[in-house]
Amino acid sequence: MKLHIIGAGGPRPGPTRYGCSCILDLGSECIMLDCGPGTTYKMTRMDLSPTQVNTLFISHHHTDHNVDFPCFALLRFDLDNNDLEPLAVYGPAPTQSFVDRLVGPNGAFAPDVVSRQEHPVAQTNYLKRGGSLPRPDTKAQGHDVEPGHTIETDTWRATAVQVPHLEPYLTSLAYRIDTSKGSILYLGDAGICPELMELAKGVDTLVTGILGWNTREGTEPDAHHDVSADIPDVVDVATKAGIPRVVGIHGSPGTEHAARLLREGYCGVGYDGKVVCPNELTSIDL
């Protein structure tokens, strides 16, 4: 099992990082976690195709986690030779209307979809690429996920809990994904809460942003505290739940720096497990 790091940054582009997006690669299928800026282009640079992804989990509807979705879904549609499964998009409300209003039959991008479906030149090119008519639509199906909800297939089970971020303006979810090859807890960008601590028990890898690390002194909370996981939050989750590995994304410090900060921890409690904060366009084995 691999984790492809597509976007390891935050909402503002940096020299090497921008936005939040990962792909959990089970070998037989890929599960996308968030779809931040540039995801589709960066996937191509990693030799990954939208056609490999049938499932997307969106943690919350901030643009650094969702803004590339139409680009991703429309390229997937354009590459679909009438042989792809539907694209299931899970996330907190309003994920269903988010999907429908962008790439649904009456969505903002409907003229693009219909022109590629119906124009003779587009059809000719499509047939040359091995497609068969009638050309399907985007096959994107949005699903509003309630906290506590579980989604299960033959190969994985995903469980969602609500986590603190920027309520009441938007809802944020963390996802635990269990597979026969291991499990991850994807926190994205949020604070911690008792429900998350419970869900974290026994998970193999925590994938999380680590914010506030460069401004926080001692145990004084900074502006990020309670809305994004900081060093004490990550130490709490990883040590209390016994998680052997932490993967830092979304503006986390570099690996060595993060490992040192987590080891030092706070109030005499530190994390001694494996820590990695990968660069974008890299993949790690889980």
Cβ distance to Zn ion smaller for residue 62 or 135: 62
Element (H, E) at 168: none
213-241 burial: b if 16+ Cβ within 10 Å, else e: beebeeeeeeebbebbbbbbbbbbbbbeb
Cβ distance to Zn ion smaller for residue 7 or 107: 7
Which of 25, 34, 189, 280 is the binder for Zn ion (CB under 5 A)?
Answer: 189
Total residue count of the chain as it appears in this document: 286
Cβ distance to Zn ion smaller for residue 227 or 259: 227
- For residues 176 and 263, give the distance between their C-alpha atoms in angstroms, rounded to a whole number: 24
Cβ distance to Zn ion smaller for residue 88 or 163: 163
Residues 113-132 that bind Zn ion (CB under 5 A): none
Residue 62 lies near Zn ion (rule: CB under 5 A): yes
Q: Specify the stretch interacting with Zn ion by CB under 5 A; choose among 35-43, 60-68, 119-127, 239-247.
A: 60-68
Residue 61 lies near Zn ion (rule: CB under 5 A): no
Position closest to Zn ion via CB:
62
- Taking the complex as a whole, how short is the minimal distance between the CB of residue 254 and Zn ion, in angstroms? 22
- Taking the complex as a whole, how short is the minimal distance between the CB of residue 75 and Zn ion, in angstroms? 24
Return residues touching Zn ion (CB under 5 A): 62, 189
